[in-house]
Structure 1
Amino acid sequence: MNDRADVTETQFDFDLGPADVATEAEDRAIPLGEDAGLDRYARVELLKEEREIAARFHGGPMWGYVAAAFGGFALWVALFPLTMFGVVHPLITLAVSTFLTTAGYVTCHEAMHGNIAQRGDKNFWMNKWVGEVSLLPIAVPFSMGRITHLEHHKHCNDPLKDPDYTDEAPNMLAAWYKTWWNRQPRVDGTINRYKTVCEELDTEESRLALKQTLLLQMFYLATLFTMAWSGYAIAAAVCWWLPRQLGLSWIRFFLSWAPHHPREGHTGRYDQAYIFKSKVGHFWSMCMETHLIHHLYPGIPNHRTRQAYFALKPILEKRGVDCSAL
C-alpha cells in the first residue's frame, strides 16, 4: 500500500539548508579538530549519506499492519461473548487479550505517522481506521493518541512539553511502578498528562480529541459496569480491564521508558532515544531496541527499524551514538 521511499512532512524529516548548518553543528559529530568549517562539511556529508541509506527502508507493503489491526480487533471483540458463555477459559482470554491490546499500539503507531498510506494516496483514510480499532482496547481514541505522540516527537525529552516525560524513572523497577502510578486519578501522568497537553494546544483537533476521549472512557466504564452487573464480572476483567492495565504498563515501559532513559538534557537529534538490548528480545519489546531509528526517520516502518539500524550503524557511530548494545 505504501511504496514511497521519500520522507514526508508528517515524518519530521528536514532539509539541511545553509540556515540549518549552525543548528546541526550543535549535535555530536566525529572529532575533527578546531576547524569549524571542516566540521560542518563533515556533518553535511554524513547526513547526506545517512539519508541515502535510510531511504532504502522507507515504504514497502503495509497490508500486514492493516490485517493485524482489523483481525486483532475482530478477535478481541469475539473474546467477550466466547468468555461470557464459557467457550474460552478466562486465563486464555486474559493472555490473548493482553497480547492484542499491546500489539494494537504497534499498528496504531504506524497509522499515527501516516505510514499505512501516505498523504495524497487514495487509501490515506485507512490510517485513521487502523488507528481507531488498534487503540480501542486501551480506551484511547486515535485523535488523542496521534496528537500526543506527535507532540512527543516535536518536543522529545523536554520536561515541560514532552507528554511522555512523566514516565521517566531512575531505574527499571521504578519505571514499572510508574507505569501503574501514572494512571491513578489526579496524577499528572499518561492520560491525565495527555488531556493537559490537548487543553494547552487548544486547537479544533485537540478539543475534538478531548471530547472523544471522554465519550470513549465513559463507554469503557459503562461496558465494565454493565457486564459486572449482569453477572459477568470475571469476563469483564479478563476481556478488557486487566488486559488494558497490563498492556498499558508494557507499552509505557518499552515504548516510553526503556528507549528514552535517561531523558534529562537529551534533546539532540542523535540522543533523543538509545540503542539497547532487551532481555525479552526485539519482538517482545515491540521492536524498541532500535527506537532511535524511528526518531530519526519516523517513515521507516517499525518492522524495518532493526534492519535499518545495522545499515546505518557506521554513520551513527561517527555521529557519536553509543551502538555498543547491538
Structure 2
Amino acid sequence: MTDQTETVDHRTVLAALPPAARADFTERRDEPGLLRLGLHLGAILILGAVIAAKPPWWGVLLPIQGVLIVFLFCLLHEAIHGTAFRTSWVNTAAARIAAFALMLPPDWFRYFHLAHHRHTQDPAHDPELAAPWPTTWRAYLWRVSGLPVWADHVKTLVRNARGRCDDDYVPPAGRTRVRREARLMLAGYAAVASLAFGFGAQELIWVWIVPALLGQPFLRLYLMAEHGRCPLVANMLENTRTTFTTSLVRLLAWNMPYHAEHHSLPAAPFHRLPDLHARMAAHLRETERGYARFHLKTAARLSHSRGA
C-alpha cells in the first residue's frame, strides 16, 4: 500500500489532466488490440494443436493452456468496455469469442460489470460484493478452486435462457437480449457436445474443457487482488489496487494489473494504461508488489474455523 499523508480523489487527478492529454489517453486504436489478440489466440491454437497431437509430455501443457484460455476474461473485459479495438464490430466479435470459451454471456456480463464500475466497493450496489470475502482457509480455497465460478456461470446461462433474469442491474429493455444470447450460447454448447461425442472429436475435452478447469484457479488468484481488502469508499485510488508484476502477466492480462488506473478512467484503452499509470502513480493508495505478496498477506488473516 502506498504511504501518503494526503488522500487525493481520482476525479481530482483526472481534472488536472490537460484536455489534450485526456483525449490522448482515451484514443482508441485497432492495431494494439489486434496484435495482442493475435498473440493470445495464436498461443491457444498452437498449444491446443500440440496437446491434440499428444506427445509424451502433453499433460504438462494442460495448465498452461488453461491459463491462456481463462485469461481471455481480460479480453472480454476490455471488449465489453469497447476499448480493446477502435472498430465496434471487432470489439463485439472478440467479446463473444472470449465469452463462449468461458461460458460467460457477454451482454449480461456487460450490465454486471458496468454496475461494478458505477458502484465499486459499495456493499449495497456492487454486484462483485455479493459473495462475501473469504475469512477462513476453507472459504479461501473454495473460492480459489474456481468451482463456484463455473457453477455460477452455468446457473446464469440457464436462468437467463429461461427468461428469469431478475438482476437489478439488467434493465427491462435488455432482458430480451440477455435471454436471446443465453439461448444461442446453450445451442452452441450443444453443437460442440455433439461434435465431441458424436463425431469423435474428443480432443476438445483436452484442449479446452480440462485446461479451463485447471486454469481457473490462476484467474481467481489474479482477480482477488483487484479489490480484495480495499476500503469500502468511492475513491478509485483507494478502493482498487494496482499490482506491480512482470511484463508477461501484464501481456496475458491486457494490462489490467493497472487496475486503479482503469477504474479511474475506464475509457482508456489497455495499451495506454502504462502511460496513465505514470501520471497517477504518486496518488495511488492501494498497491502491491506481486500477487504472491498479496496472497501471503491475505493468508495471514485467515482463520481455521469452519465458517464462511
Fold in common (TM above 0.5)? yes
The 5 A counterparts of 1:66-77 are 66-69=34-37, 72-73=40-41, 76=44
Picking from 169, 180, 187, the partner of 1:211 is 180
**Alignment partners' CA distance in 2, 1:117 and 1:277:** 25
Amino acid at match of 1:62: D
> Measured at CA, do residues 149 and 219 of structure 1 come closer, stay the same or move farther in structure 2, by a change above 3 Å?
same
> Measured at CA, do residues 169 and 225 of structure 1 come closer, stay the same or move farther in structure 2, by a change above 3 Å?
farther
Amino acid at match of 1:261: G
> Measured at CA, do residues 283 and 199 of structure 1 come closer, stay the same or move farther in structure 2, by a change above 3 Å?
same
> Measured at CA, do residues 89 and 144 of structure 1 come closer, stay the same or move farther in structure 2, by a change above 3 Å?
farther
Deviation at 1:295, TM superposition (A): 0.3
For the pair shown, which has the larger CA radius of gyration, 1 or 2? 1
**Alignment partners' CA distance in 2, 1:76 and 1:285:** 12
8 Å contact from structure 1 (residues 80, 239) kept in 2:
yes
**Alignment partners' CA distance in 2, 1:106 and 1:273:** 16
Picking from 227, 235, 242, the partner of 2:196 is 227
Q: 1:107 maps to which residue?
A: 75
Deviation at 1:92, TM superposition (A): 7.0
Q: State yes or no: 1:64 paired with 2:32.
A: yes
**Alignment partners' CA distance in 2, 1:96 and 1:324:** 25
Count of residues paired in the alignment: 277
SS of the equivalent of 1:158 reads coil
**Alignment partners' CA distance in 1, 2:199 and 2:105:** 27
8 Å contact from structure 1 (residues 110, 116) kept in 2:
yes
Q: State yes or no: 1:30 paired with 2:30.
A: no
Percent identical across equivalent pairs? Answer: 17
**Alignment partners' CA distance in 2, 1:70 and 1:272:** 33
Q: State yes or no: 1:306 paired with 2:274.
A: yes
Q: 1:9 maps to which residue?
A: none
8 Å contact from structure 1 (residues 151, 162) kept in 2:
yes
TM-score (ref. length: structure 1): 0.65
Deviation at 1:136, TM superposition (A): 2.2
Segments of structure 1 that go 5 or more residues without pairing to the other structure are 1-27, 32-38
Picking from 230, 233, 243, the partner of 2:211 is 243
Q: 1:268 maps to which residue?
A: 235
TM-score (ref. length: structure 2): 0.68
SS of the equivalent of 1:259 reads helix
> Measured at CA, do residues 218 and 170 of structure 1 come closer, stay the same or move farther in structure 2, by a change above 3 Å?
farther
8 Å contact from structure 2 (residues 242, 257) kept in 1:
yes
Per-residue CA distance 1:154-176 (angstroms, 9 max, x = gap) = 22223343232227334898545
> Measured at CA, do residues 292 and 227 of structure 1 come closer, stay the same or move farther in structure 2, by a change above 3 Å?
same
Once structures 1 and 2 are overlaid, which stretch shifts more, 273-282 or 58-67? 273-282
> Measured at CA, do residues 64 and 46 of structure 1 come closer, stay the same or move farther in structure 2, by a change above 3 Å?
closer
Q: State yes or no: 1:183 paired with 2:149.
A: yes
SS of the equivalent of 2:93 reads helix
Q: 2:102 maps to which residue?
A: 138
8 Å contact from structure 1 (residues 98, 244) kept in 2:
yes
Picking from 129, 138, 151, the partner of 2:93 is 129
Q: State yes or no: 1:296 paired with 2:261.
A: no
Amino acid at match of 2:133: E
RMSD of Structure 2 on Structure 1 (CA):
4.2
Deviation at 1:265, TM superposition (A): 2.3
Deviation at 1:260, TM superposition (A): 0.3
**Alignment partners' CA distance in 1, 2:190 and 2:92:** 24
> Measured at CA, do residues 308 and 264 of structure 1 come closer, stay the same or move farther in structure 2, by a change above 3 Å?
closer
Q: 2:128 maps to which residue?
A: 164
**Alignment partners' CA distance in 2, 1:324 and 1:93:** 29
> Measured at CA, do residues 288 and 231 of structure 1 come closer, stay the same or move farther in structure 2, by a change above 3 Å?
same
